[in-house]
A and B are shown apart, each in its own frame.
Chain A
């Protein structure tokens, strides 16, 4: 194999490895959002799968936390944080999730979580409701809520 092709293959491998490592290490949540819960909750971490089910209303209670009712709160469709959260947690595009909710709502099978227009209003909702969970910008100043880790 010619030296330039070997170098190209090595460069691509390094770039791919760097990209994989830069997503996050196991146990760390991605940099695009932080998950916040009511401070009275005993939950300390949540898996991505459980978080997705909570926000898609496929499960109504926390697996940990004494099976307390889980009350998710979304941000508005136009929020960049929601787009990142949707892609990482649900592994779908925002359009796909909105389509899912249209089908659920209009077949009478469920209603989406309430929406709030800002990090502040999300934190207000979470602080007021035991069992509530929301997400905010990574640099949002937490007020009345606590952040938890999201495990892959």
Chain B
């Protein structure tokens, strides 16, 4: 049954479609106050296991509880100073509202900006624009990289430098350097296999957990080539968890033009002291058959090595292949449908996993390591 949030979003989406002239930022005082927004709502259903991604949750009982609305407010109190804030209203599984990020930016020179506050984490191709569905072909970002996979925090709280410089030959080099603290969602179904973990107790539910990373030092280098739409990035950071360090390295490449969208990313993260290693990546290709109709395909995979869990466990790997079909009413409003076949239980498993493991053991069966996920929804921006 569509929820109230979903009904609201559908109304806004149709307003964007019917009045495309109004589908632009709200610009007041000649650019001193600019308000933009983005929203999404989707229906998801699987053939059994529950699927976890940061913008999407799916289960065998179909659900409309995948909705969000974000308001971006940028204020320029002075020529070189901008204050940027994101307010969100989410219903992804449960209802949440709040301030996602808020920071001050000072434009020191054409090639150096200084940011301070709760700043969107500059990681890879899409982390900063995660809520904006009109910038990608699938409803959700690839879960292997941007899901609860222990590398993609929403924000860091600290100070950062960012800018872009021209390089001979028609290249542009963009950079980010930052330091501070961050927290990200992580989900570890394999913890149900470890007797000392709370999630191994019957009746307990596996859910994303927030991990805080302190003393983070990180950066991103981006290379825009003379070939329009061809860009490369490398992102890395290092920080401290409670009982270990965390090191992340992510390589990214994309080619975008009016018809084609090709993206690929791969990463490795390591929590060396406790023997946790993750690596994963994806490749995604989308093509506009017409201005309105777009087809897309995506393959993603991740692998976790965890001390104390057998390496061949079905709860340590994820492989997904998805096919998508989209209808773009305008660049600001799109209807998307996709079907994803998932192998492995790293990101798809019964929420009451300890119970499911015990029942399977009693019956002499196994938990299915295959999951089919259907997603259908609307996304818009203004």
Binding site for B on A (CB under 8 A): 58-61, 69, 76-78, 91-93, 95-96, 98-99, 102-103, 105-109, 111-115, 125, 129
Q: Contacting B31 at CB < 8 Å: which of A92, A99, A109, A113? A: A113
Q: Is the CB of B128 within 8 A of A106?
A: yes
Assess A111 versus B34: contact at CB under 8 Å? Given A92-B228, A95-B258, A105-B72.
Answer: yes
A60–B72 Cα gap in the complex (Å)?
23
B50-65 vs A, Cβ < 8 Å mask (1 yes, 0 no): 0000000000000000
Q: Is the CB of B84 within 8 A of A95?
A: no
24 chain-A/chain-B pairs, Cβ below 8 angstroms = A58-B164, A60-B79, A60-B107, A91-B228, A92-B228, A96-B256, A99-B256, A99-B331, A102-B129, A103-B129, A105-B36, A105-B74, A106-B36, A106-B135, A106-B381, A107-B128, A108-B72, A108-B74, A108-B103, A109-B128, A111-B34, A111-B74, A113-B31, A114-B31
Of the stretches B20-28, B140-148, B337-345, B349-357, the one at the interface is B20-28
- How many interface contacts (CB-CB < 8 Å) are there between A and B? 78
Q: Is the CB of A102 within 8 A of B258?
A: no
Contacts of A109 in B (CB 8 A): 128, 162
Q: Contacting B129 at CB < 8 Å: which of A59, A95, A106? A: A106
Task: For the A-B complex with A96-B257, A96-B258, A115-B27 known, give 4 more contacts whose Cβ atoms are closer than 8 Å.
Answer: A60-B110, A99-B256, A105-B72, A106-B128
Contacts of A69 in B (CB 8 A): 79
A77–B332 Cα gap in the complex (Å)?
12
Does B134 interact with chain A (Cβ within 8 Å)? yes
Q: How large is the interface on B (under 10, 10 to 19, 20 to 34, 35 or more residues)?
A: 35 or more
Contacts of A59 in B (CB 8 A): 110
Chain B: minimal CB distance from A79 (Å):
12
A93–B134 Cα gap in the complex (Å)?
17
Does B139 interact with chain A (Cβ within 8 Å)? no
Q: Contacting B135 at CB < 8 Å: which of A78, A91, A102? A: A102
A111–B132 Cα gap in the complex (Å)?
16
Chain A: minimal CB distance from B112 (Å):
12
Does B131 interact with chain A (Cβ within 8 Å)? yes
Does B221 interact with chain A (Cβ within 8 Å)? no
Contacts of B256 in A (CB 8 A): 96, 99
Contacts of A60 in B (CB 8 A): 79-80, 107, 110
Q: Is the CB of A108 within 8 A of B120?
A: yes
Q: Is the CB of B229 within 8 A of A106?
A: no
B116-158 vs A, Cβ < 8 Å mask (1 yes, 0 no): 0001101000001101101100000000000000000000000
Q: Is the CB of A106 within 8 A of B72?
A: yes
Assess A96 versus B229: contact at CB under 8 Å? Given A58-B164, A105-B25, A108-B74.
Answer: yes
Chain B: minimal CB distance from A98 (Å):
6
Chain A: minimal CB distance from B326 (Å):
15
Contacts of B105 in A (CB 8 A): 108
Most buried by B among A61, A69, A76, A96: A96
Does B30 interact with chain A (Cβ within 8 Å)? yes
A109–B72 Cα gap in the complex (Å)?
12
Residue of A nearest to B37 (CB): A106
Report, nearest first, the 7 A-B pairs whose CB atoms are least far apart: A107-B128, A108-B84, A106-B132, A106-B129, A114-B31, A111-B34, A59-B110
